[in-house]
């Protein structure tokens, strides 16, 4: 085996090891609004009382990232907080205060052109993705 080949084998093993050791990311059940699929992930991965970051991933039914939206978040009946667009990949993030992860509800407001919709995500529905 040449030095270059052994380096590729080592790199492949390292990548496999890192992927095998990473934790699956808990998320809230996906929802749809108009032609947009919405996925919500959290940081920390398991919701806690206090500040939590929510990452809203939006994609069109064609599979293309919905990068031209205005996304706002609120917990229960709190005030709306506009999320920050993370590049042009359909990702929007914002940290908001969670009082009780077992009973609070995250509301996601989506504005697209002249349309607006609100999705409701009960935080108690957060689940780990299925493992292989």
Which CATH number fits the domain that encloses residue 84? 2.60.40.10
In-domain check, residue 68: yes
Q: Is residue 8 part of a domain?
A: no
The answer as to whether 115 is a domain residue is yes
Number of domains in the chain: 1
Q: Evaluate whether residue 29 is within a structural domain.
A: yes
Q: Does residue 36 lie in a domain region?
A: yes
Q: In terms of residue numbers, what domain contains 78?
A: 25-125
Q: Is residue 9 part of a domain?
A: no
Smallest Cα–Cα separation from 36: which of 126, 123, 118?
A: 118
Predicted confidence (pLDDT) per residue in 117-130, tens digit: 999 999 999 987 66
> Which residues make Cβ contacts (< 8 Å) with residue 71, sequence separation at least 6?
56, 58, 82, 83, 85, 92, 94, 108, 109, 110, 111
Say if residue 23's pLDDT is above 70. Answer: no
Q: Which pLDDT tens digit goes with each residue over 30-76?
A: 999 999 999 999 999 999 999 999 999 999 999 999 999 999 999 99
């Amino acid at each position: 085996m040449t030095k270059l080949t052994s380096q590729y084998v080592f790199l492949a093993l390292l990548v496999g090891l890192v992927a095998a050791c990473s934790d699956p990311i808990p998320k809230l059940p996906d929802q749809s609004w108009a032609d947009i699929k919405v996925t919500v992930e959290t940081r920390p991965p398991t919701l806690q009382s206090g500040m939590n970051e929510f990452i809203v991933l939006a994609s069109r039914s064609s599979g293309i990232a919905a990068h031209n939206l205005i996304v706002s978040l609120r917990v229960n009946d709190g005030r709306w907080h506009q999320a920050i667009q993370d590049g042009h990949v359909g990702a929007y993030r914002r940290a908001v205060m969670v009082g009780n992860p077992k009973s609070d509800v995250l509301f996601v407001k989506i504005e697209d052109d002249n349309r607006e919709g609100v999705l409701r995500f009960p935080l108690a529905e957060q689940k780990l993705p299925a493992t292989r």
